[in-house]
Amino acid sequence: MQGKFRWPEGVRCVALLSVDFDGPSHEIGRKLRPLGINSWGRYSGRRGVPRYLDLFEKHSIPATFFVPGYDAECYPEVVKDIQRRGFEVAAHGYLHEGWALGDEEKELLTRTHDILAGLLGQAPVGWRSPSGRKTARTMRVLKELGYRYDSSDKDYDLPYMARIDGERRTDMVEIPNNTYSLDDFPWFKFSMTPPSEVLEQWRREFDSLYRENGYFMLTFHPRSGWGSGIPSRAKAIEEMIRYIRQHDGVRFFSIAGLADWCLANHDHFE
């Protein structure tokens, strides 16, 4: 695989910024009222997402926002603004489900799909599992709904063709993400690391990936609390963008944009 792998001509490294909206859906799904100490998720719709829309416009970054269906119902104009300003809206569960899903899974996937499609006038083409919940049934339902990519798995350091019931597909691609060292959640939730130290870690992660296969995805949340919605943490994201742009041959993609390129060049990938 490595022998025939290559990015688009002139590209040494692809960079993706993915934003998990994770508004009050996160609390409601855990049976918490999104008030007081549990109101962090409301920051996403009120300040966090608008702040990042401005930041991405400033730096011409084609970012992707993964939006739970419940959050889209709470903040429809904010979600519309994501699309209006030229960014991708992808699906991310309904209540950011943190429990084992049974027969309700198809209904929840379809509900969010329909909410986003109705709100935006076009269906999402990408999905990311909330809380890591994904099964073989998930992939079958996503394919039925017409999704072109999933960005949930953490098992490789390059995109690869998705497999559904053991069959390699050439019409759906897995775009892996790293929810440990390249996600803000563990740094700000558990270790409570200062943004300056997190930024330095992300720079080192980028350096190693730039030298190897040139695939870099950073995921963060526009919440307050354990998210990156507040100004000091948004500043770290902006500094990371500037750092990435210092390197030759880097191109930023939306995840849908990269997925479409991978699908058109599926012979390059496993």
Say what percent of the chain tops pLDDT 70: 99
Q: Measure the CA–CA gap between 162 and 34, rounded to whole angstroms.
A: 36
Pairing assessment for the beta strands 167-174 and 160-164 based on DSSP bridges: antiparallel
How do residues 39-86 score in pLDDT, each as one tens digit?
999 999 999 999 999 999 999 999 999 999 999 999 999 999 999 999
pLDDT greater at residue 220 or residue 102: 220
Say what percent of the chain tops pLDDT 90: 91
Does residue 3 have a pLDDT over 60?
no
Integer Rg of the chain from CA: 18
Across all residues in the chain, what is the average pLDDT? 95
How do residues 173-202 score in pLDDT, each as one tens digit?
999 999 999 999 999 999 999 999 999 999
Domains of the chain in sequence order: 13-268 (3.20.20.370)
Does residue 2 have a pLDDT over 60?
no
**How far, in Å, are 66, 90, 131, 175 from residue 31 at the CA level?**
21, 24, 15, 31
pTM of the model: 0.96
- For the segment 89-106, the average pLDDT, to the nearest whole number, is 90
Asked if 175 and 149 count as a contact pair (C-beta separation under 8 A), the reply is yes
What does the pLDDT read at residue 133?
A: 84
- For the segment 106-118, the average pLDDT, to the nearest whole number, is 97
What does the pLDDT read at residue 38?
A: 96
* Residue 264 one-letter amino acid: A
Lowest mean pLDDT, pick from 4-13, 19-28, 60-69, 181-190: 4-13
What does the pLDDT read at residue 102?
A: 81
What does the pLDDT read at residue 158?
A: 96
Pairing assessment for the beta strands 13-20 and 64-67 based on DSSP bridges: parallel
* Confidence tier at 4 by pLDDT (50, 70, 90): low
Beta-carbon count within 10 A of 244 CB: 21
| Closest CA relative to residue 25, chosen from 14, 41, 9, 44 | 41
How do residues 126-173 score in pLDDT, each as one tens digit?
999 998 889 889 999 999 999 999 999 999 999 999 999 999 999 999
Q: Measure the CA–CA gap between 93 and 236, rounded to whole angstroms.
A: 28
How do residues 191-238 score in pLDDT, each as one tens digit?
999 999 999 999 999 999 999 999 999 999 999 999 999 999 999 999
